[in-house]
Structure 1
Amino acid sequence: MVLSALLNFLFPPPPSLVVSALSVVSLVSLTNTGFSEMRGKHLNYSKFWNATTADYSKQIKLSSRAGMLLLYTPAFLAGAASFFIFPNDGLRSTLLNSAVTFHFLKRILEVLFVHKYSGFMYLDSAIPITLSYFVSAATMTYTQHLTVTEGLPEPQIDLMYPGVAVFLIGIIGNFYHHCILSKLRGEGEKEYKIPKGGLFGLVICPHYLFEITVFYGISMISQTVYALCFAVGTTFYLVGRSYATRKWYVSKFEDFPKNVKAVIPFIF
């Protein structure tokens, strides 16, 4: 019943074993990573870079800025290349490719001009995250291309234009809260502070809330099974990441407000 209702909003899966496999892999791997974050096993970047006890003494170090650029640049290039590799695929594909490309371009510009960094990242930790972003961007645009070349029937309910609106809300909200975070520490300061302003009075990770919104906007524009699987997987991952972030703040600040949730206002 639920599946049949869901199919009203989605293109039929394309006849591609690779895309079908990647849909399952992205959903399962991101969901598992989210639960790992809740259990205290973190991806090694941001404030959690040294949360595990693995020996990194012989690994290659990157500055945090260089590391974050490495994470996002291949995915941006994959999105930008889609305009040349898959031209003339119609409005939906153009909007999807634009959303994917702009999302990662925004991340790159934030790394260069918004975020402040004081630490470093290990290359071995950066590579799998980089590959994940790149594969997701490439698969998202390729799957959209297949809906055209395979002549798949359009979903009964068109979410393309609402998806653009949801995407823009997510992008603006995410950028706004990243700007708030960037102003927490003055020049030369390295200590963490409890964020204030925007939705930080309700949740400790509103930037993650709006990033989730971004990917549901992309999913609504695309209306493919892969895009939906990636959005759902990203939700589980960022919910887990938010839970770990709130737990970290509670452990570091005795005055952390108890009413501030992790990522969903008033709920979680």
Structure 2
Amino acid sequence: MTLTTLHIICIIWASIGLASFILLQFVNAPYGRHVKNGWGPEISNKWGWIIMEAPSFFIILYFFLTSNQSSYASMLSILWLLHYLNRTFIYPFRIRTRGKKMPLLIVGSAIFFNCINAGLNGYFLAHFETYGPESFNSPTFILGALLFTLGFFINQKSDYILIHLRKPGETGYKIPKGFLFNYISCPNLFGELMQWSGFAIMAWNLPALTFLVWTFANLLPRAVGHHKWYKENFKDYPKKRKAVLPGIL
């Protein structure tokens, strides 16, 4: 595959992401609190997470181990792997969702999504990256690293608060409070958006930007859906909270 071909695939894939963003304004992906009957066979929520996130980890790991990446490209691969190590093998065993399920349709869609995004990014870092040692001194690295680190912290802190809202054995929903939950309903998603914005800035290539487009296309509607759900199900839900972007959305 040539770099031009890779870029064409990225443009097509990003365009599909924008179309999905429009679709998700009208449909909530049926997992978590939005799960509904009628979406076909279901699988354990925990195993669904593991199966659908695993391609993102193993595809990047394959390219990382089988190519001669520069130190900068290796750093990008390792950051990706750290995120998906948590998302695939740690997070599913922390959440308290005993008995909850998700449709296999969602799992299959996520596997396809993750294979394409990880494949595009992994292939670029394995075959087309041209980063030199000076990349670690660039403004894009400094800004991107700060955003990625802060986003990772926000995501982890928010997940911790959400997970510990439930006592062992509980499965119901409660109003989260404290930290950025005082301002937005979904700081966990805000942190993830910040992470991948930082990654795209550090990477400064089309595959990383394409993945960022898809991240926003998926997470912004998800956050708005969560926010609407909270307001519909809790009469005392704080009125000043936004969905995902403090003071904006």
- TM norm structure 1: 0.83
% identical equivalent positions: 24
Aligned residue in 1 for 2:221: 240
Tell me the amino acid that sits aligned with residue 114 of structure 1: R
Which one scores higher on RCO, CA 8 angstroms, separation ≥ 6? 1
Could you tell me which amino acid in structure 2 is paired with residue 42 of structure 1? N
Classify 1:95/1:36 alpha carbon distance in 2 versus 1 (closer, same or farther; 3 Å): same
Q: Separation in 2 of the partners of 1:67 and 1:233?
A: 20
Give the structure 1 partner of residue 23 of structure 2.
36
1:11-69 CA distances to partner (integer Å, 9 max, x unpaired)? xxx6331x223322432333333333322x1222111121xx6352xx2x311000000
Residue matched to 2:96: 116
- Amino acid across the alignment from 1:24: I
Aligned to 2:160: 179
Residue segments in structure 2 that go unaligned for 5+ positions in a row: none
Report the AA paired with residue 94 of structure 2.
V
User: Alignment partner of 1:62: what SS?
Assistant: strand
The match for 1:97 is 77
Aligned length, in residue pairs: 243
Alignment of 1:103-252 (within 5 A): 103-118=83-98, 119-148=100-129, 158-252=139-233
Deviations 1:191-237 (A, max 9, x none): 11111121001000001111001111111221101211221331232
Bigger helix share: 2
Find the counterpart in structure 2 of residue 68 from structure 1: 49
TM superposition shift of 1:73? 1.2
TM-score (normalizing by structure 2): 0.89
What is the SS of the residue equivalent to 2:24?
Answer: helix
DSSP 3-state at the match of 1:16: helix
| Structure 1 SS opposite 2:102 | strand
- Root-mean-square deviation (Å): 2.2
**Aligned residues of 1:114 and 1:178 also touching (Cα < 8 A):** no
- Alignment gaps of 5+ in structure 1: 1-13
* 1:78 corresponding residue in structure 2: 59
Q: CA deviation at 1:110?
A: 3.5
Aligned partner of 2:244 in structure 1 is: 263
- The residue type equivalent to 1:225 in the other structure is L
Alignment of 1:24 with 2:11, yes or no, is yes
**Rounded Cα–Cα distance in structure 2 between residues aligned with 1:22 and 1:178:** 34
Which residue is equivalent to 2:38? 54
CA shift, 1:190, in A, is 1.6
Contact between 2:39 and 2:103, CA under 8 Å: does it hold in 1? no
What is the CA–CA distance in structure 2 between the aligned matches of 1:259 and 1:186, rounded to whole Å? 27
